[in-house]
């Protein structure tokens, strides 16, 4: 499942072709993905101009001049592919339609944005822009980890009295939006905190230090184009490269990268997800 850096990378890739563009034609090639598409989605998108392209947690939000916002969730294998961009930043010609091209947006400027999703765990929805804070996928989300609302006071309060493992608390989208398994593992390693430790038993100074560390991990990942493990591609089709700098994730049995540490990275399943950590460096 793409996490915040992958979704942000895709959003940034879409900006030159989609933001400010008028959708000359929208094609919806099936009735649903993970959930049914909204009624008359193709008609509601055709003729609309994209006035802004934002991200909230793991969702891309395209604001339209019609007063609606298109919500895009990539799911497990969803890709937003761009072709024919007249700015010359992507491919100049449109590829032949592929089997899993479920939604296609053609702009007046000649760009084509295709939502391809082989596993069909992605989703799209249209909502009233002024009511998006009440949308069922967005209303319970916590603060953005790269925003000002995610700060030391917020995280200390969120951890207080919690008996759940810190890994589980950080994955709770009500605590902080957009974090997933990969980047929580990497942030906890940099902070020297075991994913097994109960959140409420971590000292406030250590919790406070987690805030800039989480931001640094996410920023590094965005700069690297995200992590391509299975399906993630940037909007121009290129892979992300952050997986080449993982310090613990997916490195079970390998020697810890901390200088002078000879211990091996371990893996433990927590709530159905693999946690990777160094038992010596993370306490």
Give the pLDDT score at 241.
47
pLDDT in tens, 145-189: 999 999 999 999 999 999 999 999 999 999 999 999 999 999 999
Asked whether residue 216 falls in the same domain as residue 128, the answer is: no
Catalytic site residue 5?
A: no
259 has catalytic annotation: no
- What is the reported pLDDT for 97? 85
266 is a catalytic site residue: no
- Partnered with residue 161 across adjacent β-strands are none
User: Could you tell me how many residues make up the chain?
Assistant: 283
Residue 145 lies in a domain: no
For residues 80-95, average pLDDT:
71
Active-site residue identified among 11, 55, 56, 58:
58
Is there a domain that residue 282 lies in? no
Q: Report d(CA 101, CA 92) in Å as an integer.
A: 18
The residue from 134, 167, 200 where one domain ends is: 134
**Does residue 56 share a domain with residue 24?**
yes
Residue 268 confidence (pLDDT): 97
Tell whether the model's pLDDT for residue 228 goes beyond 90.
no
Task: Check which CATH number belongs to the domain holding 218 and give it.
Answer: 1.10.8.50
Gap between the terminal Cα atoms of the chain: 28
What range defines the domain where residue 171 resides? Answer: 152-277
Q: Which of 183-187, 212-216, 245-249 has the lowest mean pLDDT?
A: 245-249
Cα within 13 Å of Cα(120), Cβ side = 13
How distant is the alpha carbon of residue 13 from its chain centre? 14
Residue 141 is assigned to a structural domain of this protein? no
Quick one: pLDDT band at residue 76, thresholds 50, 70, 90? confident
Cβ(48)–Cβ(22) below 8 Å: yes
pLDDT higher for 241 or 112?
Answer: 112
Q: Which of 252, 264, 273, 279 is catalytic?
A: 273
Quick check: is 36 in a domain?
yes
Instruction: Determine whether 2 is an active site residue.
Output: yes
- Residue 283: inside a domain: no
Could you give the CA distance from residue 234 to residue 14 in angstroms, rounded to a whole number? 9
Quote the pLDDT of residue 242.
63
Is residue 209 in a domain? yes
In a domain, 144, yes or no: no
Q: What is the pLDDT of residues 262-281, one digit of tens each?
A: 999 999 999 899 999 999 99
**What separation in angstroms does the CA of 18 have from each of 24, 48, 115, 220, 257?**
12, 11, 13, 25, 41
- Cα separations in angstroms, 168 against 5, 30, 165: 19, 36, 5
Q: Which of 2, 5, 16, 195 is catalytic?
A: 2
CATH code: domain of residue 87: 3.20.190.10
């Amino acid at each position: 499942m793409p996490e915040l850096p992958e979704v942000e990378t895709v959003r940034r890739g879409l900006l030159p072709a989609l933001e400010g563009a008028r959708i000359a034609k929208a094609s919806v090639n099936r009735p649903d993905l993970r959930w049914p598409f909204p009624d008359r989605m193709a008609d509601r998108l055709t003729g609309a101009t994209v006035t802004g392209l934002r991200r909230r947690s793991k969702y891309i939000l395209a604001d339209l001049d019609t007063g609606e916002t298109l919500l895009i969730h990539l799911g497990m294998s969803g890709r937003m592919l761009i072709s024919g961009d007249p700015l010359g930043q992507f491919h100049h010609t449109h590829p032949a339609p592929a089997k899993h091209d479920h939604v296609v947006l053609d702009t007046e400027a000649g760009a084509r944005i295709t939502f391809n999703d082989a596993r069909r765990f992605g989703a799209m929805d249209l909502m009233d822009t002024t009511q998006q804070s009440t949308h069922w996928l967005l209303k319970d989300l916590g603060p953005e980890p790269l925003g000002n609302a995610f700060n030391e006071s917020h995280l200390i309060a969120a951890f207080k009295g919690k008996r759940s493992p810190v890994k589980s608390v950080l994955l709770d989208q009500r605590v902080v939006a957009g974090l997933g398994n990969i980047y929580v593992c990497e942030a906890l390693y940099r902070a020297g905190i075991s994913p097994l430790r109960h959140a409420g038993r971590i000292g406030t100074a250590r919790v406070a230090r987690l805030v800039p560390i989480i931001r640094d991990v996410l920023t590094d990942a965005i700069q690297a184009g995200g992590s391509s493990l299975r399906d993630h591609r940037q909007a121009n089709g290129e892979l992300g490269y952050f997986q080449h700098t993982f310090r613990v994730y997916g490195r079970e049995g390998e020697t810890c990268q901390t200088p002078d540490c000879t211990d091996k990275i371990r893996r433990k399943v927590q709530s159905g997800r693999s946690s990777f950590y160094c038992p010596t460096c993370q306490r």
